[in-house]
Amino acid sequence: MTERSPAPPAGRAFQDLPLSPAVLENLQRLGYEQMTPIQAASLPLALAGKDLIAQAKTGSGKTAAFALPLLANLNPRHFAVQSLVLCPTRELAEQVTQEIRRLARAEENIKIITLCGGATMRPQLASLAHGAHVVVGTPGRILDHLARASLALDALNTLVLDEADRMLDMGFADDIATVIGHCPKQRQTLLFSATYPDDVMKLASRYLREPQEVKLAERH
Ligand code: ADP
Ligand code: MG
């Protein structure tokens, strides 16, 4: 007798999304059997190219909710930075990098690098010189690289502001503004936050284009 796992609740199957068979297979391999609620709410909109303000508590699977869309926007044959993910801390940036790497396994040769303060410049400069498709980092260090022209964002198509509330709490508002000034106007912007205070709203209204709001209640 074979055990069958129950079918995912309505609207929670990754198979219903416009994702390639390779991506779906990789999700299965990772043990992602169904979308989490924030993924189910965000992914159809984000994969349709919409800007998004998404709010859900920690541990709800927000990384895949922006990682799958940014990977879908990527052209692996174009070896230039096409996605930038801004995170508040080095630890979070490293976690996000790991999750994007896992999700990117469906494609060959997607290069993802982490650029955070507190780490020495030389290896970062060496990685940038080799090129990358995706950059994940903290606002201050990303700004340093933009200032010394070791990083260019002309080919960017997806900008993610992860843990936007924490970045603002940590005083990154000006750095974020300057980094966004280096991004093409024509892009998809995805803002994720655990909470949704006024300053996050202000950030969203300044830098997102007709954003769709996805909010999940505390309990889900
Ligand atoms: P958040 O950013 O909301 O705090 P994460 O993106 O870090 O949450 O995800 C929390 C954990 O859940 C991670 O270990 C991730 O690999 C896992 N995860 C995310 N989505 C799914 C899914 N659909 N099925 C199973 N596990 C998932
Ligand atoms: Mg997160």
The CATH number linked to 192 is 3.40.50.300
The answer to whether residue 7 is domain-embedded is no
Q: pLDDT tens-digit profile of 5-38? A: 566 676 799 999 999 999 999 999 999 999 999 9
In degrees rounded to 5, what are phi and psi of residue 188?
Answer: -100, 130
The answer to whether residue 4 is domain-embedded is no
* Cβ of 30 less than 6 Å from ligand 1: no
Distance 32 CA to ligand 1 centre (A): 9
The answer to whether residue 5 is domain-embedded is no
Label residue 24 exposed, middle or buried (CB < 10 Å: 0-12, 13-18, 19+).
middle
The answer to whether residue 2 is domain-embedded is no
Q: pLDDT tens-digit profile of 73-130? A: 999 999 999 999 999 999 999 999 999 999 999 888 899 999 999 999 999 999 999 9
Q: Which atom of ligand 1 is nearest to the CA of 38?
A: 3
Strand (E) or helix (H) holding 125: helix 121-130
Tell me whether 0.90 is exceeded by the ipTM. yes
Q: How close are the terminal C-alpha atoms of the chain, in Å?
A: 33
Distance 3 CA to ligand 2 centre (A): 33
Nearest alpha carbon, ligand 1 atom 26: 32
Give the range of the structural domain holding residue 200, as residue numbers without chain letter. 14-215
The answer to whether residue 3 is domain-embedded is no
Q: pLDDT tens-digit profile of 150-204? A: 999 999 999 999 999 999 999 999 999 999 999 999 999 999 999 989 999 999 9
Number of compact structural domains in the chain: 1
Distance 66 CA to ligand 1 centre (A): 11
* Cβ of 97 less than 6 Å from ligand 1: no
Distance 78 CA to ligand 2 centre (A): 27
Q: In this predicted structure, what is the pLDDT of residue 8?
A: 63
Strand (E) or helix (H) holding 160: strand 158-161
Asked whether the predicted pLDDT for residue 3 surpasses 80, the reply is no
The answer to whether residue 77 is domain-embedded is yes
DSSP per residue, 182-204 = TS-SSSEEEEEESS--HHHHHHH
* Cβ of 82 less than 6 Å from ligand 1: no
